[in-house]
Structure 1
Amino acid sequence: MMLPRRSFLKQLGTLTGLALSSSGFRGQSAPKLPRVLILGDSISMGYTPVVKQMLEGKADVSRPVENCQGTKLGVQRIDQWLGTEPWAVIHFNFGLHDLKHVDPVTGINSNKPDDPHQSDLKQYEANLKTIVERLKTTGANLIFATSTPYPDLPEGPYRKAADVLEYNKVARKIMKRNKIRINDLYSAVLPELSTLQLPNNVHFKPEGSRFLAGKVTELILSTISS
């Protein structure tokens, strides 16, 4: 004897673990995941796809399509990057572009040590404060990532390895003053730098990006679950 269609569907739902009742199946969507925004330069562009994978089903991770570069661009674009929807967590970093040297006339990357930084320490501090104040208005949980280390005088724009310490020091003071969590990627990756980073470069191998993604994911998870 054939079962009525409703009874058949009910039994099928029981067997498959699905709620097929008219009130529980139709018209209901999965709970919204916490929205996470990642802001940063090409280092973050390397680890963001892996963070998205690691947080699949736990958070909705996004980042701007473009490279967020340094604080000068950050001040200009921060409103655009934030958009109008609320964020649960914003993980951000600025530094590696600020400390590189640029042509004083054109602003184009320079390999000359006598040319100025894109943003000197004073300007970096002022710009970062402006960005932080804007981020605080979102009500999101904020996490600042320290800029990652690199060998002295890597390929590309002129960068001294010691400069990243000074820029991170300025950033730390701002974050501590504003009670913002710090993700110390600098210290985390430093012991493994020779194996995780590309030779004579500021960028990382795929395994380096995965390593950084693990550190980023860990702190984001602890933030959204607290």
Structure 2
Amino acid sequence: MTGLRAFRPVVTLAVILAAGLLAGPQLQAAEPADRPATAELPRVLLIGDSISIGYTKPVIELLKGRAEVQHNPGNAGNTGRTLPNLAKWIAPERGKWDVIHFNWGLWDLCYRHPDAKTKGRRDKINGTVTHTPEEYRQNLEKLVSMLEQTGAKLVWASTTPVPEGEAGRKVGDEVIYNRIAAEVMQKHGIPINDLHALMAPHMKTKTTAPGNVHFTKEGSAMLAAQVAEAIEKLLPQE
């Protein structure tokens, strides 16, 4: 990721735990349409899957008084799912966004099969990948172009690691997809918040179960600290 800025956390895990700012991946993110703009504060939009849903609540608390933080409606899923929906999330009538922190990846690289018995019909042996690397690149280009039209400051979050034993995802595929994303972001001059590097050393201790891509409350707190720092750097200065 040469030439791209990577962010590191400054808020300690102990502080987050003490403040009770933890949220699991089942947090229901408020829809932007349901949250009117607060004139006094910059507005921040988080876009992503259940990983980002898991760190949304603590990010809201960490930036309390500095920014109004919202998540896209529900789970953004893969790039293809977002393409027909993004325009609604960033529509001008819903107010101006000052910062947009976004990710797609884990759903794009997931293999699924209609006969699979696992949750989400994940099957990396017999299934078909949701989006090939080239399809992912093409979709990202379209999505980034749409986000740029908002005039918001953009920051990309790299996709977190795939653990050993994941039913529908192959270890190392996220590195391939992250490399593609880095190329797209470099082309557009968008900084990268390297969540992959942050969590790679903790996949055996901070995930909810072996072979699960989701993080414990402590893992989500680690992510939230780094996300909040990345956003803080892009907020309008008082």
- Whole-angstrom CA distance in 2 between matches of 1:110 and 1:172: 26
| Deviations 1:198-217 (CA, angstroms, capped at 9, x unpaired) | 22200000000010000000
Larger Rg: 1
Q: Percent identity?
A: 37
* Partner-residue secondary structure (3-state), 2:170: coil
* Partner-residue secondary structure (3-state), 2:129: coil
1:208 maps to 219
| 2:42–2:68 Cα contact (<8 Å) kept | yes
Letter in 2 for 1:98: D
> Structure 1 regions of 5+ residues with no counterpart?
1-29
- Whole-angstrom CA distance in 1 between matches of 2:89 and 2:82: 9
- Whole-angstrom CA distance in 1 between matches of 2:114 and 2:146: 29
Letter in 2 for 1:207: E
Tell whether 2:165 aligns with 1:153.
yes
* Partner-residue secondary structure (3-state), 2:205: helix
TM-score (norm 1): 0.81
1:138 maps to 150
Structure 1 stretches of at least 4 aligned residues deviating more than 3 Å after TM superposition: none
Over the residues paired in the alignment, what is the CA RMSD in angstroms?
1.9
Matching residue within 155, 176, 182 for 1:172: 182
2:206 maps to 196
| Deviations 1:71-109 (CA, angstroms, capped at 9, x unpaired) | 00111111111132110000000000000012379xx63
- Whole-angstrom CA distance in 2 between matches of 1:217 and 1:102: 33
> Structure 2 regions of 5+ residues with no counterpart?
1-37
1:70 maps to 78
| Deviations 1:120-170 (CA, angstroms, capped at 9, x unpaired) | 111111001000000001100000000001312324xx1011111100010
1:102 maps to 112
Higher relative contact order (CA 8 A, sep 6+): 2
* Partner-residue secondary structure (3-state), 1:168: helix
* Partner-residue secondary structure (3-state), 2:72: coil
Letter in 2 for 1:86: K
| Deviations 1:14-63 (CA, angstroms, capped at 9, x unpaired) | xxxxxxxxxxxxxxxx9610000000000000001110000000000011
Paired residues, number: 194
- Whole-angstrom CA distance in 2 between matches of 1:90 and 1:124: 20
2:50 maps to 42
- Whole-angstrom CA distance in 1 between matches of 2:41 and 2:195: 26
